[in-house]
Structure 1
Amino acid sequence: MERQLAYFAWSLIFCLMAGMSLVQPCQAAHEPFGIRMTDRATGRGIPLVELTSTTHEKWFTDSAGWVVIDQPDLMGRELHLTIESPGYLAPKDGFGFTGQRVKVESGKQVTISLERQQLAERLYRTTGHGIFRAARRLEIPDLPSEPAAAARIAGCDSVLVTRYRNQLHWFWGDTPVLEYPLGNFHMTGATTPLPSEVPPLDQQPPFYHYFVKPDGAVKPMMPMPGDGPTWMGGLFTIRDTSGQERMVAGYSKIKSGLESYRRGLAVWNDTQNQFEPLCEFPAGKSFYPISQHHVLQTTIEPEDDRYLYFCQPFPLVRVLKSWEAIQAIDRYESYTCEAAHSTEESPALDRDANGHLKYEWKRGFKPLTSARLQLWITLGLLKEQESLIALTDHFTGEPIEVHYGSTSWNPYRKQYITIFSQLHGKKSEDRPASTLGNVWLTTAPSLTGPWSKATLLATHGPYSFYNPLQHPEFSEQNGRIIYFEGTFTKSFSGLTESVPLYEYNQLMYRVDLDGVKAE
């Protein structure tokens, strides 16, 4: 009996040892395998590149262009990866498959270069969590800090920025947080040093100093009275009647998704580090700072500098730069050709005795938009050549439907530059149809246009990219190098799948204007 027990014990030990030797290769420690996608022209890592295996596993590059593959069962194996990224082109093999085969090896790294097909170079994500997640996992040195992680920010909607009290003040819309889908819906805010005090934007993202509550969560910047989220528009600084610099913005209270039911102006409280109500405007008016109005930061004519110009995306609403004027709804002006007796039901245009259309600054009129001008053309009130906004593709002549954006004076081109998103972009040979993902640039000799030809800067496949904001304060080489950012999301696209970490966050781009066709 003892011999049988001893035999059984030794047999059990042998089996356990054999089993351990069999599983040991799978459990052996391994280092992650890294792939970096780079721009062939600049050598810089490309964010938002999608890599897909033949088993349909997906990886997306971080803001340094890295992905990590660390699945134990893939170590030591060759893997074909389909490579896709809007605006960038991966090589194709003889069968027409776009991508590349790599060998996944513990602790190794490979670099794959893509050819950029678009004019705008994608730099990085500026908001949200895990901006350089893969690069940190691979222990890539000299990575920028990520202040959004400490504030527990998961996403940030459209951005506004202005200079105030020797700092840049940044504000974002709806802000999901890590601990719950419903985060801050009354604007999130942060400050950064002035551009002269920090590295250029192509070297690292802005380092935001977020306004937070005692528990470290983001603090609501614009808790205006009333139910529903608060949206901001028309952020600017101005002197009050005592000569003190004040930071002011328009606000809208939102209900039922996108409907605004209360509007007004709010002023920054330096003690509370929050906006508080300044004045409320009557309902039904739209010729004052509304959501996603950007303020034109630089002009060239002394007469223009007397006014604040609000862009959506063109600077066709203005008000005198005075503390009293900004609070008086009847002081705001729109640049329009609409006649005094015009109504929405029976529109009429203003012409002189010779039948020439008269564009003028007028009080009490709705701002001109490309949609309103197109309606008047359809009704036979306006000829196409008379339209102030009649944008077409510089190369194909195809018409472009304009969404929101921003305008800025560019000293390098000596023109006003508008960067805007396109509505209902059509499918072409090099890009899919996109409801709101194509970004264009157009120029004009004056801040009142006209705007006719546009050049495509960036695409985002079927995804949306809206409310692009220029950063003239960060431009380089006298305005030759410019930057803009906007919101990347699946919203409004009809897609059901989000891109992890990138969803509902800001993407920064750089453009060399020498590559953009001039008028």
Structure 2
Amino acid sequence: MLVNQYFLKKSILPLKHPHWGCQLGSYFVFKPLIRGILAGVAFFLPLFCFAWVAADDLSNANTESPRPFGIQVIDAETGRGVPLIELRTTNGICLVTDNAGWIAFDEPGLVGQRVFFSVEGHGYEFPPDGFGMHGRALVVQAGQTSQLKVKRINIAERLYRITGQGQFHHSQRLEMPSPWRYANLNAQVMGQDSTQAVVLGDRVLWTWGDTNRVSYPLGNFGSSGAWSRLPEKGGLSPSVGIDQQYIRDDAGFSRPLFHNDLKGTVVWMHGLFTLKDKHGQLKAVTHYSVREGLGKESASGLAVFDETQERFLQVNQFPLTTKLFPRGQAFQHQEGGQEYIYFATPYPLIRVPANWDAIFDPKQYEAWTCLKEGSDFEVSQPALERTTAGKLDYAWRKDTAVVDAERQQQLEQAGHLEPGEGWLQTRDVDHGRRVVLHRGSVRWNTYLNRWVMIATEIGGESSNLGEVYFLTSQTIPGRWEQAKNIVTHNKYTFYNPVHHVFLDEAGGKLIYFDGTYTKQFSRTQSPTPRYDYNTIMYRLDLSDQRLNSVILP
């Protein structure tokens, strides 16, 4: 009010002035307007000054505010932070631990309070209290930290999320250092599906399927790629992470590895492998499939990676009726003096001679199958090959369809095969029940001196595609009869796991594998923030005695 009176008094001009003359009349005309303007300024100036001071105080408060309250969830056995553990308050606030096992908590109204956090995570367990509650009450204090220990139920150890955004989100908010160059966003990638990788020289070429971006729901549907250095050639230890350098477009987003002008289609890769060409140069080769998502296939064939262009160049097309072609995860093995490339889906039931000309000829591919040579797969009238004694006759046959675990089950349900008659008779070693394996990889392991398989079950009890099994075999194609569950995902999918043999440590005693974590094909409608539709790395110690039941003869 005093300020207003001051400005009003100063605005009262004398009625007589030696220099005003005829302008005095104009003064009386504009006097009300002038007084109104000055009164407005007098009213708003204090408010402006107050807002300016308040904003300055708020800015200072933000820069001086303490760190959030930090909670780290660690593996009780190893002391390592565990990612993908959910902490939930009694009013449903849910936070998920980052790659280092941390969450940052600064919920308004709950700082200074004693807050109960329930603790839950796939394959890990927090001990219950007297009422059966799996959690603990913590006093939330800004800038302070607390630690919670979980017991690992999984035999395999969850290490970190490889792809996507926010891998060290909470750690960064707590001002903790990250071991990764791109700790929270790499090449604008938000989500990525299904890993395939091969070694080219001193580097690893990583590839994925569909890729989500930051700026729009539709991303890259022409397969994505990245490079990393081998651990022994300066790359990160696989226990820490993967130093991936994405192949990017001009906008900095993960660039498609394939050209595709056919609208409404995607390009997927299958069966990536390496082979020397006719000039003795090691090349990365893959099967490509141009298709309408999970639907109709428009074209397929083989493509070779051009390191200069950093793209796969389509070399040929296979007829759409082709029965055998690269799929799943590939490996090499010599049989009868001939080197072959095998394709595991997850059983290694397809092979082709490791010869540059042979791989481009679909007639050179063979299937380990019980169908008559040249036959396709039909549930209603299968062309089964049997011996004179009536037993199924399995052999390597060209231009003949594969009978994998799912097809074998279909033939049994249709009454064409007796239970236990087919080649694939995999059972859960702990529960004695039969398991149908969906996808995975097969690798030679020097520590065990045998082949090892990492694969997911389809139609599992806990999750449709989230149960991961470990198996061994001394031969190829192998029987793979005993399976040990090593990872479980409750009502969530973890498909297309792949063992990266180039990351093996301690002579193969420690092996690393990743898979795609997604709510697709699962029993949940709520995606896990940041983690959904991304790949997660696990480590398995093959000296773990719990694996003996599938290793010992």
Q: TM-score, normalised by structure 2?
A: 0.85
Instruction: Give the Cα separation in 1 of the matches to 2:179 and 2:204.
Output: 23
> How far apart are the structure 2 equivalents of 1:40 and 1:82?
17
Computing the radius of gyration over CA atoms, which structure comes out larger, 1 or 2? 2
Kindly state the Cα deviation for residue 30 of structure 1 after the two structures are TM-superposed: 3.2
Structure-2 separation of matches of 1:440 and 1:285: 31
Tell me, in whole angstroms, the C-alpha distance in 2 between the residues paired with 1:389 and 1:180: 44
Name the CA distance, whole Å, in 2 between partners of 1:350 and 1:357. 6
Change (3 A) 1:41 1:442: same
Correspondence for 1:275 among 292, 312, 326: 312
Opposite residue 392 of structure 1, the aligned amino acid is: R
Unaligned runs of 5+ in 2: 7-42
AA of the residue aligned to 1:269 = D
Residue of 215, 237, 243 corresponding to 2:274: 237
Which consecutive residues of structure 1, in runs of 5 or more, have no partner in the other structure?
427-432
Q: CA deviation at 1:245?
A: 2.2
Residue in structure 1 matched with residue 329 of structure 2 by the alignment: 294
Q: CA deviation at 1:448?
A: 0.9
- The CA deviation at 1:202 is 4.6
2:291 counterpart of 1:261: no
Structure 1 segment 341-490 matched on structure 2, within 5 A: 344=378, 345-426=380-461, 433-490=462-519
User: How far apart are 1:341 and its partner, in Å?
Assistant: 7.5
- 1:491 maps onto 2:527 in alignment: no
Change (3 A) 1:511 1:50: same
Structure 1 pair 150/441, CA: closer, same or farther in 2 (3 Å)?
closer
Structure-2 residue corresponding to 1:505: 534
- Residues of 2 paired with 1:369 and 1:249: CA distance? 21
- In 2, the alpha carbon distance for the partners of 1:198 and 1:387 equals 47
Distance 1:409 1:41 in 2: 29
Residue 92 of structure 2 corresponds to 56
Whether contact under 8 Å (2:374, 2:400) holds in the other structure is: no
Q: Is the 8 A contact 2:223 2:256 kept in 1?
A: yes
Aligned to 1:84: 120
Letter of the 1:271 counterpart: T
Query: Amino acid of the residue matched to residue 518 of structure 2?
Result: T
**Distance (whole Å) between structure 1 residues aligned to residue 95 and residue 360 of structure 2:** 50
Q: Measure, in 2, the Cα distance between the counterparts of 1:272 and 1:368.
A: 38
- The code of the aligned residue for 2:525 comes to T
Of the candidates 159, 175, 178, which is equivalent to residue 139 of structure 1? 175
Q: How does 1:9-158 map to 2 (within 5 A)?
A: 29-146=65-182, 149-158=185-194
Does the CA contact (< 8 Å) of 1:147 and 1:207 recur in 2?
Answer: no
Q: Structure 1 residue 518 and structure 2 residue 553: aligned?
A: no
Question: 1:46 touches 1:64 (CA, 8 Å); kept in 2?
Answer: yes
Instruction: Name the amino acid aligned to 2:152.
Output: R
Letter in 2 for 1:497: S
| Cα distance in 2 for residues equivalent to 1:149 and 1:457 | 30
Q: Which amino acid aligns with 2:280?
A: G
Structure-1-length-normalised TM-score? 0.90
Q: CA deviation at 1:380?
A: 4.4
Of 440-449 and 217-226, deviating more is 217-226
Flag the 1:233–1:348 CA change in 2: closer, same or farther, 3 A.
Answer: same
Give the whole-Å Cα distance in 1 for the aligned partners of 2:137 and 2:117: 6
Deviation at 1:289, TM superposition (A): 1.4
| CA shift for structure 1 position 422 | 1.2
Distance 1:180 1:254, change over 3 A: same
Provide the C-alpha distance between the structure 1 equivalents of 2:142 and 2:250, rounded to a whole number of angstroms.
43
Q: Are the counterparts in 2 of residues 235 and 248 from structure 1 also a CA contact under 8 Å?
A: yes
Which string of whole-angstrom CA distances, capped at 9 and with x for unpartnered residues, describes residues 200-236 of structure 1? Answer: 6453111001111222121111224533110001111
Paired position in structure 1 for 2:240: 204
Size of the aligned set, in residue pairs, is 497
Per-residue deviation, residues 367-420 of structure 1 (Å, max 9, x unmatched): 221122223334444344442211111011112121111111112222221111
Per mean C-alpha deviation after superposition, the further-off stretch among 363-372 and 60-69 is 363-372
Deviation at 1:153, TM superposition (A): 0.6
Name the aligned partner's letter for residue 438 of structure 2. H
Alpha-carbon distance change, 304 to 486 in structure 1, aligned in 2, over 3 angstroms: farther
Which residue among 310, 313, 318 is the counterpart of 2:351? 318
CA contact (8 A) 1:91 1:100 kept: no
Instruction: Sort the Cα spacing of 1:142 and 1:185 in 2 relative to 1 into closer, same or farther, 3 A.
Output: closer
Distance 1:501 1:356 in 2: 51
Aligned equivalents of 1:485, 1:305: Cα separation in 2: 31
Aligned residues with identical type, % of pairs: 35
Q: Would you say the 8 A contact 1:202–1:510 is kept in 2?
A: no
3-state SS of the aligned residue for 2:171?
A: helix
